[in-house]
Structure 1
Amino acid sequence: MNTMKSIAYLFIALLLTGCFPSNDLEKREILLQGITMGTVAYHIKYVADPKGSVDIDKQSVDMHQGVEAILKQLNQDMSTWIPDSELSKFNSATTLEPVEISEGLRRVVAESIRLGHLSGGKLDVTVGPLVNLWGFGPESRPEKQPTDEEITQAKARVGIDHLTLVENKMSKAIPELYVDLSTIAKGYAVDLVAEYLEQQGFNDYLVEIGGELRAKGFKHTGELWVVAIEKPISEERAVQQYIVPKDNAVATSGDYRKYFEENGQRFSHIIDPHTGKPIDHKLVSATVIHPSSMTADGLSTALMLMGEQKALAFAEQNELAAYLIIKTDDGFIEQSTVKFMQYLK
């Protein structure tokens, strides 16, 4: 899966809150981990109770197989790196006729279109031609930055209004439309795994895939899950802020790890569909807390595209729990919405 979003990882904090301690010391915290979407790591923690006849070790093997099956199917539905995936076939087809799509792809496309309109077109899953042009897609990076003419030509093939979804049928208004769901698919993967855990009877968990996460309930000790937002620096890994998301998802977008430099100029992997160029402002990290990881994933990218002032205004207007980190000549400053304050540790 094309990880167009910056890998702005949320560290699972080692320091945990000391509230609601559990007296049931027999509960165990199970860790499942692996690789998905080509190179994206996932870490899943859930709390199991050994009471009864359940073999927890065997159960964890079955759970891991279930998770792997879910993630494999998601890749086959939405990857732009797999030539025969459902989305790749849609992108390569030149027909303008509606195509019936799977339920998973429908859910993600529907939310992508909704967030695209909500953000005034800033979040645009059809921006793929521009992403590829700047060398952040499946194609290799060009030896030099694109010309204005090349950007104009690519922009002609971009636009969320060219993509239509009616019930479970998707169509495009121009044959060259290219849909890339990487700004929202990792979040959807988190939601799918969380839903699977709950279906299996586990309601205390933390699911993290490529930096996007969703938590519910408590650790095996009865303590709340605590995570940390990373400091937006490329030289080392450090914590900027600890948060307690409670029963919510957390997604962070940033431009400080995935970029290239040419002639002393830095080019971010986050491409503004309106300008056709990498973003160029002082907002370096945007975090959103929301019940849905898919929605948080898309919104965090939308905020990054808007820049510091418009992002904060948008987040307040839409009552989002958002946290922004802005680079200044003297370091970083933090801004957060009123709704975000309740999650600060």
Structure 2
Amino acid sequence: MSKKSCEAAESIKDALLRMARVNCNFYLDLKGFLSMIIFKKLFAPIALLLCFTLPLSLTGCSASSAQPFSKTGFYFDTVISLTCYGNDAQTVLDEAFELCGHYENLLSYTKEGSDIWNINHANGQPVTVDSETASLLQTALYWSEKTDGLIDPTITPISQLWNFSGDPAGPVPKQSQIDALLPHVDYHNIRIDGNTVTLADPDAQLDLGFLAKGAIADRLKAFFLQKNITSALINLGGNVLAVGQKPDGTAFRTGIKKPFSETNELVDIVALKDQSLVSSGNYERCFRENGVLYHHILDPHTGYPADTGLSSVTILSDSSTDGDALSTSCFLLGYEKGRELIDSLPDVEALFLLSDGTIYRTKGFPQS
């Protein structure tokens, strides 16, 4: 490889690492897991994506142990990594990534022709969608009711107004702009009849980002088990789901990132066996203006970032769908009401990190 090629490869790797720090809440235990090099070329008419799959060795395992295989790519607007163990692992990983593409084609609100895109561009007309899309929308409405509307999948127009995904993000919208869009934020406008979905307000728009990655992680777990893969780790941009445990019987170790840490400092490390770990926080997609931090978790009642005294919420649960929805719900509810919600649910634990650095855990949340 030429010197210029080597320099280009290093630049790509550095860019990927910076992107991963922005998009991923969790840093995986690197024993037994080596991240693949990928890149997404930005600001081009066609985004280029390179995915490499290589067999990996597991530290501490005997030669007869199953070899892990890992594949990394860019889906759901974030870096994702899938690692699994087994004789057919590489083939199964390829099929799992095809499944990721399938769900992106269903659930992405930015991908033209997806179910969500079609609903958003139907001008209030009925749209026939895949049964899984309809089911996930029903789940979204369940959480909207559960949180008295703090979770609202029709927040999309205001989220876009804030431009948190821009480069640079921001600026802070004018109050008049927010006021003009708030009347269109109302989950009651979502009408579902079988596989037919209608937005009663033609100016409303959907985004299932608050639970889509969790739901897809659960689907991937079911797919792995169907393929007789009983040991795997799913990481969808920081939404982590362990399928079983490592072949040597040890847990998958996952770190909870300390918000705004420039040295990748961790709040804690959690050992996962057949469980999901999901965080939501004010540090994921955010910007500062005039010294004030503005983050992407918006209160649908005000159109502004939620100010609940929390910096992040981490949910430990069996269901990644629930974990994804609960992490956002609890952040919006604040510590007291969020803790009350978690305590009312079976097999769910939480770690609340307050803005002043105070940490609260529910009774069953482990401490390393």
Q: TM-score, normalised by structure 2?
A: 0.80
Q: Give, in whole Å, the separation in 1 of the partners of 2:239 and 2:75.
A: 13
Give the counterpart letter for 2:122 in structure 1: A
Cα 1:139–1:162 shift into 2, 3 Å = farther
Asked whether 1:9 is paired with 2:37, we answer: no
Q: Give, in whole Å, the separation in 1 of the partners of 2:100 and 2:165.
A: 21
Which aligned pairs between 1:39-188 and structure 2 lie closer than 5 A? 39-48=77-86, 56=87, 59-97=88-126, 99-136=127-164, 144-188=171-215
Q: Residue 323 of structure 1: CA displacement?
A: 1.0
Q: Flag the structure with more relative contact order, 1 or 2, with Cα contacts below 8 A and sequence separation at least 6.
A: 1
Q: Residue 220 of structure 1: CA displacement?
A: 2.3
Q: What is the aligned-residue RMSD (CA, Å)?
A: 2.4
Asked whether 1:29 is paired with 2:45, we answer: no
Contact 1:259 1:269 in 2 (8 A): yes
Asked whether 1:336 is paired with 2:364, we answer: no
Cα 1:122–1:223 shift into 2, 3 Å = same
Q: Residue 168 of structure 1: CA displacement?
A: 2.2
Contact 1:25 1:221 in 2 (8 A): no
Q: Give, in whole Å, the separation in 1 of the partners of 2:272 and 2:135.
A: 24
Q: Residue 90 of structure 1: CA displacement?
A: 0.9
For structure 1, the 5+ residue unaligned runs are 1-5, 17-21, 49-55
- The residue aligned with 1:257 is 284
Q: Deviations over 1:194-235 (max 9, x none)?
A: 111101001122111110011132212221222221112242
Cα 1:148–1:23 shift into 2, 3 Å = closer
Q: Give, in whole Å, the separation in 2 of the partners of 1:113 and 1:120.
A: 10
Q: Deviations over 1:129-183 (max 9, x none)?
A: 11011113689855x4222222121111111111122332222221111000111
Work out the percentage of aligned pairs sharing the same amino acid.
22
Give the counterpart letter for 2:341 in structure 1: F
Q: Give, in whole Å, the separation in 1 of the partners of 2:241 and 2:160.
A: 30
Q: Secondary structure at the match of 2:245?
A: coil
Cα 1:41–1:220 shift into 2, 3 Å = same
Asked whether 1:295 is paired with 2:322, we answer: yes
Q: Deviations over 1:107-143 (max 9, x none)?
A: 321211111111111111110011011113689855x
For structure 2, the 5+ residue unaligned runs are 1-21, 33-59
Asked whether 1:211 is paired with 2:238, we answer: yes
Contact 2:316 2:349 in 1 (8 A): yes
Contact 2:76 2:108 in 1 (8 A): no
Q: Residue 254 of structure 1: CA displacement?
A: 0.8
Q: Give, in whole Å, the separation in 2 of the partners of 1:138 and 1:78.
A: 21
Q: Residue 14 of structure 1: CA displacement?
A: 4.6
Asked whether 1:199 is paired with 2:226, we answer: yes
Question: 2:313 pairs with 279, 283, 286, which one?
Answer: 286
Q: Secondary structure at the match of 1:271?
A: coil
Q: Deviations over 1:1-33 (max 9, x none)?
A: xxxxx83522222579xxxxx997512232322
Q: Give, in whole Å, the separation in 1 of the partners of 2:335 and 2:31.
A: 30
Give the counterpart letter for 1:133 in structure 2: L
